[in-house]
Chain A
Amino acid sequence: MKETIYRSHVLVCTGTGCVSSGSKNIKMALEDELAAKDLSDEIKIVETGCHGFCEKGPIMIVYPEGVFYCQVESEDVAEIVEEHLLKGRIVDRLLFKEPFTEENIPSYSDIDFYKKQKRIVLANCGRIDPEDINEYIALGGYEAVGKALTKMTPQEVIDEVKKAGLRGRGGGGFPTGLKWQFARNSDSEKKYVICNADEGDPGAFMDRSLLEGDPHRVIEGMMTAAYAIGADEGYVYVRAEYPLAIRRLEKAIKQAEEYGLLGEDIFGSGFNFKLHIKKGAGAFVCGEETALMASIEGKRGMPRPRPPYPAVSGLWGKPTNINNVETLGNIPYIIKEGSEAFSSIGTEGSKGTKVFALTGKINNTGLVEVPMGTTLREVIFDIGGGLQEGKKYKAVQTGGPSGGCIPEEYLDLPIDYDSLLEVGAMMGSGGMVVMDEGTCMVDVARFFLNFTQSESCGKCTPCREGTKRMLEILNRICEGEGEEGDIELLEDLGQHIKDTALCGLGQTAPNPVLSTIHYFRNEYEAHIYENKCPAGVCKELAAAYVIDESSCVGCGQCVKVCPVDAISGKPKETYVIDAETCISCGACADRCPVDAISQG
């Protein structure tokens, strides 16, 4: 069969983000348009996984030029085909505009968001069709596991991973090679490997993107792990809320089985591997290893005391190795390129890259992969394009509900496991929430604690009861009912929960509170002692709005938006806000065309 050679490839992102903003319609419109113009044999449409720049989706990249179109709509398709694909003229208005220079950047690789990234794990995401195993293989896929199975002993594989210095990307940062070694050292006929895809941090979607955009990479990583520890069966534990990831993974497993890459006697090496998908019901705590295994076994997802560790007695009592999606995504690179190539990236104690889900009050939100040791400033300002509306940076929250808030003084901190811990935060799975001056840090602490309290499995006393009491105190403070001693009680309870909780969820739950108290104690104090929320977020503490008489033009628009009828006056005259009635929602100030309203 003669392969069709296309003169151009149009990559349409079909990650969850772009799909929700309409990329499936764009793809259909493109198909119709190409057919109408009789171009279907010349131009190929490729559905890819996530490019990470979801903020600007739907995303379309046209090769060979590598022109990056963003926020494309179905109506734009005809113009792209006519101008770009037929006449070779780039459609300027759909190009990415740098936030500061306001310059249009045509090429994918010239955009700051991508320029400073180093994509190892995400290398194929957005480049290949994740539903076609041939595309993965064409880019060197399954070479690594082929090498491991045919040229390396299991111990050599483990040694290579150890030498690479890879640490777990799911939260704790435990050395992956060592973890594998423990499982290998456990003597048992039956062992399991598990891929932990129970991604649950608010706003994080690293694992989902990788599973959606490059599922074979994860499968290859799992196979390598299984070979290394002596397992012949594996589970991917993935949230049922990730239907696209599940569908693509199912398809990938099926294709791999058809190609003999999963099943019996893989690569003629005698190694067998069977892979299952287990859908989780979306409990955050099931990301904890022992709870995850309980869930696979059909039990309630509750952690159990360790030891015994999973490497000794895990799933169904058998030695089990559990790695996070991103951790496994690094394995093919390490085996194929060698440990030195990997360990040349990163810092002394943290090798390789890390994927972050960059969100919050930042211009370029999305998924980024950077070398370990990149500073927070580079990620937030260079890649993230700085803060929205030119506002002032206040803090970045890393590590999700287990992490902490890092203030401005540490912006030049190189990101790695140890440096983040030193400043009271943690790597976590890679959530990175940027906050500006309009963010109340007490409210942020409350948000995360509310999350962990409602996601606590309820098993151990400190986590179930203690986080509830901390949350009540935070609620009290935010509502203007804070009392002297509350901060100290929060610190005391927080440390207590860290010291005595059963599992990682509880042991880290107080971190957002403790770190905000550490760096922003004055904000807590302002709430309690001055009855003020400095950021103006806590409604009960916010000052009433007032209208500046000299600026008011009497348009009356403020009256229309006030939800509590606190504004009175007549058209063409000056309006007045009743301070007693005002709930400080700020709707009037937002609406006022002459900026006459401000908080008193």
Chain B
Amino acid sequence: MSKINLTIDGQTIEAKSDQSILEAAREIGIDIPYLCYHPDLSLHGACRVCVVEDLESGRLLASCATPVGDGMKISTRSMKARKARRKNVELLLANHPNDCLGCDRNRHCELQDITYKLGIQKEDVEKYEGDRRELPLNTVGPALKRDPNKCILCGRCVRICEEIQGVSALQFTQRGFDSIVTTAFDLPQAEINCANCGQCATVCPVGALTEMSEIEKVWSALEDDKKHVVVQTAPSIQATIGEEFGMDAGTVVTGQLVAALHRIGFDKVFSTDFAADLTILEEGNEFLKRLKGNKKLPHITSCCPGWVKYAEHNFPDLLNHLSTAKSPMQMFSALSKTYYSQQSGIDAEDIYTVAVMPCTAKKFEKDRDEINASRFKDTDAVLTTRELARMIKEIGIDFNSLPDEEFDELMGESSGAGTIFGTTGGVTEAAVRTVKEKLTGEPLERLNLGFRGINSAELEIGDRKIKVGIANGLANAEKLLNKVRAGESDYDFIEIMACPHGCVGGGGQPRPATNEKKDKRAAGLSNIDVSNEIRKSHENPQIIKLYEEFLGEPLSGESHHLLHTKYKARPKN
């Protein structure tokens, strides 16, 4: 790529010819505000908030969508540019509820931020007073709710759903002032092909797309003396929740997270990583069985509920390739109301299970008809990382000054393998660590296999070559599976995570999220793995105890009853 010279706000700089003005400006420390632009998505050029002035022609250019040009003289701050930028924000506000106090995104809203930075006043907006969009809210869930009146039509949700997820559950419809983003035929979320992944909510700059909140439900359970409230936290949370408290992406805060959960009042604080180790033993053995019998290959992972629902809509013919093993969350919940109940002597009826997840699809998964195994609802509530952070903030816990605390006994111990479930390639790596030892009978020495960020690999296990495929982002999954469907690929094992980068990029994670941040979060999880003394799932002592005292062995009758599930085809619409 060739280099060119241009002047931005009086500074002459060298830039790559394929850069946009916005990118070039950022490199010299000038942040041009924007709303529709997103570094991980295609260019849209719609909000016109990032306009800058071309001083040669006097024209205003959308800096996100205009490539730098040799000899360009750009002002990001001329009177003309500033006025135009303000006016476009004012126009957006004139058709926005502006009820920030009651909004989920209050103080975390990109529109609010820009309004503040540009110093826009009430009267600046009032001069455009007129019609406002007044559409009914869509709050039936199961995982997400939409407030179309807050939507500023930036199209980020539309683009991420189409480009990264290949689902296109959301699209623009209508024209002119009536334009709106909605589902096909305005159908509720529950009736469309939405995977509930929540990626839309992670990129929405305003409060138009958010998770269905279960905070109040959890507070009520905590308040109820009769309830014994057990919480599990998914592997990725320990490397992401710190962002909600001002820490850098990828900062590992396991001990503080546990301390905060104890202070909120959970009776037991456990780790989903424990159940991830359990998943490896169940799914690993299932894979070994398939491998030996050479049937139902490729074996496809099923721990991601976004992916599972996507498969039910789009690849019903491949559903028998999915592992029947439940996700770690559901394994954990089933055990909470059976194994834990038995061990603690607490009646399962009185146990209330809360799962802190990086994920909005988990909210749907817990309500699946076929998922419960304990005679009760296995998972009572799912909180996203963001929801948990709000609970911590609500009761005034100073997260940053919390001491480190340990997960509680019985279901709190985990191996490094269980932890890296939270990132793409992690499940594969964890599985290989166990499967390889089981198959060869020899201890595995080299552990860091480096599956993160790759999409296929070939391994030699004993005398057998095993081909693995890995995809994150459902659009990537679709490409991979189309090859399987067409008989063009010979994978033995496929790992799929619906969200880009896996759970660290989940729909319930702190906002704003970019690929750069997600990568740092994943690195945080790797650090935990590397520093863990136990790095193989089958070496987790609490898992060994669980099999010895309760389940028998992997794929046993009791395991099947509690830890395995089934899937159903859903319409493609």
Binding site for B on A (CB under 8 A): 283, 285, 300, 302, 304-305, 307, 453-462, 464-469, 472, 489, 493, 496, 499-502
Binary A-proximity of B531-556 (CB < 8 A = 1, otherwise 0): 00000000000000000000000000
| Set B45, B47, B48, B87: member contacting A304, Cβ < 8 A | B45
CB pairs A–B below 8 angstroms (21 shown): A300-B172, A304-B43, A457-B175, A458-B175, A459-B179, A460-B46, A462-B87, A464-B153, A464-B176, A466-B91, A467-B176, A468-B95, A468-B176, A469-B91, A469-B130, A489-B127, A500-B51, A500-B60, A500-B84, A500-B88, A502-B46
Q: Is there contact, CB below 8 Å, between B171 and A462?
A: no
Q: Is there contact, CB below 8 Å, between A460 and B130?
A: no
> Which of A457, A461, A500 has its CB near the most chain B CB atoms (within 10 A)?
A461
CA distance A304 to B177 in the complex (A): 19
Q: Is there contact, CB below 8 Å, between A460 and B47?
A: yes
CA distance A248 to B431 in the complex (A): 65
Chain A residues contacting B153 (CB-CB under 8 Å) are 458-459, 461, 464
Q: Is there contact, CB below 8 Å, between A468 and B62?
A: no
Binary A-proximity of B383-399 (CB < 8 A = 1, otherwise 0): 00000000000000000
Q: Is there contact, CB below 8 Å, between B179 and A502?
A: no
Q: A462-B91, A469-B128 are in contact. Are A500 and B175 (CB under 8 A)?
A: no
| Set B92, B171, B180: member contacting A461, Cβ < 8 A | B92
Closest to B155 in A: A459
Q: Is there contact, CB below 8 Å, between A458 and B88?
A: no
Closest to B128 in A: A469
Interface of B is mostly: loop
Q: Is there contact, CB below 8 Å, between A468 and B130?
A: yes
CA distance A493 to B91 in the complex (A): 10
CA distance A305 to B177 in the complex (A): 20
Chain B residues contacting A462 (CB-CB under 8 Å) are 48, 87-88, 91
Binary A-proximity of B137-163 (CB < 8 A = 1, otherwise 0): 000000000000000110100000000
Chain B residues contacting A466 (CB-CB under 8 Å) are 91
Chain B residues contacting A307 (CB-CB under 8 Å) are 67
| Set A457, A458, A461, A489: member contacting B48, Cβ < 8 A | A461
CA distance A466 to B83 in the complex (A): 14
Chain A residues contacting B45 (CB-CB under 8 Å) are 304-305, 460, 502
CA distance A210 to B94 in the complex (A): 44
Give residues 74-100 of B contacting A (CB, 8 Å).
Answer: 80, 83-84, 87-88, 91-92, 94-95
Q: A458-B153, A459-B153, A502-B62 are in contact. Are A465 and B175 (CB under 8 A)?
A: no
Q: Is there contact, CB below 8 Å, between B172 and A502?
A: no
Give residues 55-72 of B contacting A (CB, 8 Å).
Answer: 59-60, 62, 65-67
CA distance A468 to B177 in the complex (A): 6
The 10 lowest CB-CB distance pairs between A and B, nearest first, are A458-B179, A305-B45, A305-B65, A465-B91, A472-B130, A468-B177, A456-B176, A461-B88, A500-B48, A469-B128
Give chain A nearest CB distance to B172 CB in angstroms: 6
Closest to B69 in A: A307
Give chain B nearest CB distance to A405 CB in angstroms: 23
Q: A305-B45, A460-B45 are in contact. Are A283 and B175 (CB under 8 A)?
A: yes
Q: Does B27 contact A (CB under 8 A)?
A: no
Chain B residues contacting A468 (CB-CB under 8 Å) are 95, 130-131, 176-177
Chain A residues contacting B176 (CB-CB under 8 Å) are 453-456, 458, 464, 467-468
Chain A residues contacting B83 (CB-CB under 8 Å) are 496
Give chain A nearest CB distance to B503 CB in angstroms: 32
Q: A304-B45, A502-B45 are in contact. Are A454 and B127 (CB under 8 A)?
A: no
Chain B residues contacting A460 (CB-CB under 8 Å) are 45-48
Q: Is there contact, CB below 8 Å, between A453 and B177?
A: yes
Closest to B172 in A: A300
Closest to B84 in A: A500
CA distance A489 to B153 in the complex (A): 24
Closest to B173 in A: A300
Q: Does B369 contact A (CB under 8 A)?
A: no
| Set B51, B174, B177: member contacting A465, Cβ < 8 A | B177
Q: Does B49 contact A (CB under 8 A)?
A: yes
CA distance A237 to B153 in the complex (A): 28
| Set B46, B60, B179: member contacting A499, Cβ < 8 A | B60
Give chain B nearest CB distance to A404 CB in angstroms: 20
Report the interface size class on chain B. 35 or more
Closest to A308 in B: B67
Known contacts A469-B128, A496-B83; 17 further A-B pairs (Cβ under 8 A): A285-B175, A305-B65, A455-B175, A456-B175, A457-B179, A461-B88, A462-B91, A464-B176, A464-B179, A466-B91, A469-B91, A469-B94, A499-B84, A500-B48, A500-B60, A500-B62, A502-B45
Chain B residues contacting A461 (CB-CB under 8 Å) are 46-49, 88, 91-92, 152-153
Give residues 107-143 of B contacting A (CB, 8 Å).
Answer: 127-128, 130-131
CA distance A465 to B153 in the complex (A): 11
CA distance A499 to B84 in the complex (A): 8
CA distance A458 to B171 in the complex (A): 12
CA distance A35 to B155 in the complex (A): 65
Chain B residues contacting A501 (CB-CB under 8 Å) are 48
> Which of B49, B84, B87, B171 has its CB near the most chain A CB atoms (within 10 A)?
B87
Q: Does B225 contact A (CB under 8 A)?
A: no
Q: Is there contact, CB below 8 Å, between B91 and A458?
A: no
CA distance A456 to B171 in the complex (A): 16
CA distance A493 to B128 in the complex (A): 10
Q: Does B442 contact A (CB under 8 A)?
A: no
Give chain A nearest CB distance to B151 CB in angstroms: 11
> Which of A283, A466, A469 has its CB near the most chain B CB atoms (within 10 A)?
A469
> Which of A300, A304, A500 has its CB near the most chain B CB atoms (within 10 A)?
A500
CA distance A454 to B176 in the complex (A): 5
Give chain B nearest CB distance to A476 CB in angstroms: 9
Q: Is there contact, CB below 8 Å, between B131 and A472?
A: yes
Q: Does B178 contact A (CB under 8 A)?
A: yes
CA distance A453 to B176 in the complex (A): 5
Give chain B nearest CB distance to A497 CB in angstroms: 9
Chain A residues contacting B177 (CB-CB under 8 Å) are 453, 456, 458, 464-465, 468
Chain A residues contacting B47 (CB-CB under 8 Å) are 460-461
CA distance A458 to B95 in the complex (A): 13
Q: Is there contact, CB below 8 Å, between A465 and B95?
A: yes
Chain A residues contacting B65 (CB-CB under 8 Å) are 305
Closest to A475 in B: B130
Give chain A nearest CB distance to B46 CB in angstroms: 5
Give chain A nearest CB distance to B97 CB in angstroms: 15
CA distance A461 to B44 in the complex (A): 12
CA distance A500 to B127 in the complex (A): 19
CA distance A324 to B273 in the complex (A): 63
CA distance A499 to B130 in the complex (A): 23
Give chain A nearest CB distance to B54 CB in angstroms: 11
Chain B residues contacting A493 (CB-CB under 8 Å) are 87
| Set A302, A458, A464, A496: member contacting B87, Cβ < 8 A | A496
Chain A residues contacting B48 (CB-CB under 8 Å) are 460-462, 500-502
> Which of A283, A285, A496 has its CB near the most chain B CB atoms (within 10 A)?
A496
Chain A residues contacting B152 (CB-CB under 8 Å) are 461
Closest to B67 in A: A307
Binary A-proximity of B263-302 (CB < 8 A = 1, otherwise 0): 0000000000000000000000000000000000000000
Chain B residues contacting A459 (CB-CB under 8 Å) are 44, 46, 153, 155, 172, 179
Closest to B51 in A: A500
> Which of B65, B91, B174 has its CB near the most chain A CB atoms (within 10 A)?
B91
Give chain A nearest CB distance to B72 CB in angstroms: 14
Closest to B53 in A: A499
CA distance A285 to B59 in the complex (A): 23
Give chain B nearest CB distance to A185 CB in angstroms: 18
Q: A460-B47, A468-B131, A502-B46 are in contact. Are A302 and B92 (CB under 8 A)?
A: no
CA distance A468 to B176 in the complex (A): 8
Q: Is there contact, CB below 8 Å, between A465 and B62?
A: no
Q: Is there contact, CB below 8 Å, between A302 and B175?
A: no
Chain B residues contacting A304 (CB-CB under 8 Å) are 43-45
Give chain B nearest CB distance to A277 CB in angstroms: 24
Binary A-proximity of B36-48 (CB < 8 A = 1, otherwise 0): 0000000111111
